[in-house]
Structure 1
């Protein structure tokens, strides 16, 4: 460890934490920094530290701490003296980690909105917990970038890029997420199962004509012909990025859409109908646990089948508006292959495309290009340095012009 190099702290030793640590180790090129890993258990930090040491000859210091305990985390961070803290732990840790960063003088990044395990159908707008701390970050000159994964994250930057360079006026933004990959699991999620399944149970929230609107789950759908994976059916789902984009591009209609395969949806409906997606705690032996949390424990972890995942994912922003007075539609997107992601960092697309944007943003903050000294969402920052950096790290993106724009349908 070089005491002159910046200390980068990663909190959360789950799938994304593992991939992120691997990315910092493998893709550092000529960069020098010290990597610190904080997890809730000794085993989780040891496994990841040993992996990046053995594969990439990158040392990392390990620390055990529950990030929800602010005072304990402050003690750890004071020992480390971090330049920046990356929080990829569960969403209920965000506020405590932010407060710790304010106390020790460190920049902050995360990949999703703050969320407590029992939250359900939280009223719009979101990010209230985080934004309550924005003035404190501004007063201390510290940068906090909220939700800088892929969706949310990269897609927010896509919107800023289109606003700057492709359209004079934006009328609508549809964030489209389609995973057309296949694996050998009968039923599994691509990230935290409790979070993923809960969001599919919730009402969808979308922004239209300057106001929030809501519909029941799976009640709004659309079909879109994606590059590389063709025509896919998508469902409207409440999602983080809609809540910041509605503030920063309020004139547009904004909605998030996700591909949900037929087998997944039918299994999901059975689980929901028999009560396995309930958030209400029940007694299981000596433990009180919600059926959803119990299900999340028994479902396969995304990392366990990453080596068997095959196929392609396309995620992007379908944006319509006008250019020089004429109607124009732009689809700015990324296409990733599960096999390529596994070959690079031994993971599947979802974790890969979450980790690399975080790494890019971290380097931009340390370099000063994204060090803005306050709390921001990704669409508030200059898009070009970030989009160039993720390409350098291996995450490409493209712009196409669809011949027609699909219209959402209401499913009765």
Structure 2
């Protein structure tokens, strides 16, 4: 496929969608692909379109549609004639958008697992909703890449790279995510507050000895000495990539760990004790809303304080196994600075490191390197083209041996 004639569609004009749209505009190199933006409201889509025209000289086409309305989305996409659709909308839209892509013959990308707002402690393994459509993508020769943000996403590719080049066997995979940045907010999350806070309320799920295990939240912890940011305390949290990696590297023990600062944890505990993290709707006059949804609406969006964020984030895959019969541990990781991300695309690390991998995957599908004609997770694809692409786009990474 000729990238220069491709119609690329970004669905969802929230924080990640807007950053992704700007990335396609700013970092397009010599490509002159057509960029189409689909938002639920005219205001959000018009604002980012005007910004892109002003800053980067690219004129995206604007469209307005609720991505959860499959028939309306199909009609919109047919008018566009998309080659690839990048879904940056909320996770509850994924199946609707996938079905629309199947109808119009478009490749598909998203950055997280399908999830309904009311879902809580969903039994393992995840991805059953998406994988139910895999045969249809394969029959039509369409590529669907699931969960290609950073974590999940880039860390999955790290695992593929280590399996390909660094280790003969893999015994354990620990995905480590540590945001050591600071901002001027009393309490805030780095992405969708309802999703972020809910995952911290859920039991953790991890894969070990060929079976799933779970523990209550904040009952499993570890410390790790990260590059640049030093020793950080991490908690086991249920996360998307554990579920796909367990399918593709089932012999390994696999777990996700996230840094949660003491001040954040103290406020989180209070909110939970007084019921403000509950998913159960309560009636307020003629309306009903869950306390968590209300809290998510009143908390500041991460994009609103991106210019105030300072400090560093380190995310990576700590992978142990053997090479030539000798035990080895590799930490393949990326270190990103909030100030640098703001200087580049006026956002903070979480949105930046979610958007750029999705852009890289899009270019690789259109260029043929990742056009596999079926539904896959990132660890099932050749790692080197992707790692080269994200580095060119501005996302650095490295692999380091850890002493035993």
TM-score (norm 2): 0.99
Q: How big is the shift at 1:285?
A: 2.9
Map of 2:343 onto structure 1: 343
Map of 1:124 onto structure 2: 124
Report if the CA contact (8 A) 2:3-2:366 is conserved: no
Matches within 5 A, 1:136-147: 136-147=136-147
Residues 21 and 175 of structure 1, relative CA distance in 2, 3 Å threshold: same
Residues 273 and 3 of structure 1, relative CA distance in 2, 3 Å threshold: closer
Q: Secondary structure at the match of 1:212?
A: strand
Give per-residue Cα distances to partners, 1:351-394, cap 9 Å, x unaligned: 00000000000000000100000000000000000000000000
Separation of aligned partners in 1, 2:114 and 2:59? 31
Q: How big is the shift at 1:116?
A: 0.3
Q: How big is the shift at 1:4?
A: 7.2
Map of 2:95 onto structure 1: 95
Separation of aligned partners in 1, 2:288 and 2:391? 46
1:212 aligns with 2:215: no
Map of 2:361 onto structure 1: 361
Map of 1:13 onto structure 2: 13
Separation of aligned partners in 2, 1:4 and 1:255? 41
Runs (4 or more) in structure 1 with deviation over 2 Å come to: none
Cα RMSD for the two superposed structures? 1.0
For structure 1, the 5+ residue unaligned runs are 405-412
Map of 2:239 onto structure 1: 239
Matches within 5 A, 1:145-184: 145-184=145-184
Q: Secondary structure at the match of 1:385?
A: helix
Q: How big is the shift at 1:3?
A: 12
Map of 2:289 onto structure 1: 289
Separation of aligned partners in 1, 2:112 and 2:403? 33
Number of aligned pairs? 403
Q: Secondary structure at the match of 2:5?
A: coil
Residues 270 and 7 of structure 1, relative CA distance in 2, 3 Å threshold: same
Q: Secondary structure at the match of 1:24?
A: helix
Separation of aligned partners in 2, 1:283 and 1:91? 25
Q: How big is the shift at 1:287?
A: 1.6
Separation of aligned partners in 1, 2:227 and 2:132? 40
Q: Secondary structure at the match of 1:241?
A: helix
Separation of aligned partners in 2, 1:151 and 1:380? 16
Give per-residue Cα distances to partners, 1:330-359, cap 9 Å, x unaligned: 000000000000000000000000000000
Q: How big is the shift at 1:403?
A: 2.1
For structure 2, the 5+ residue unaligned runs are none
Q: Secondary structure at the match of 1:231?
A: strand
Map of 2:393 onto structure 1: 393
Separation of aligned partners in 1, 2:80 and 2:48? 18
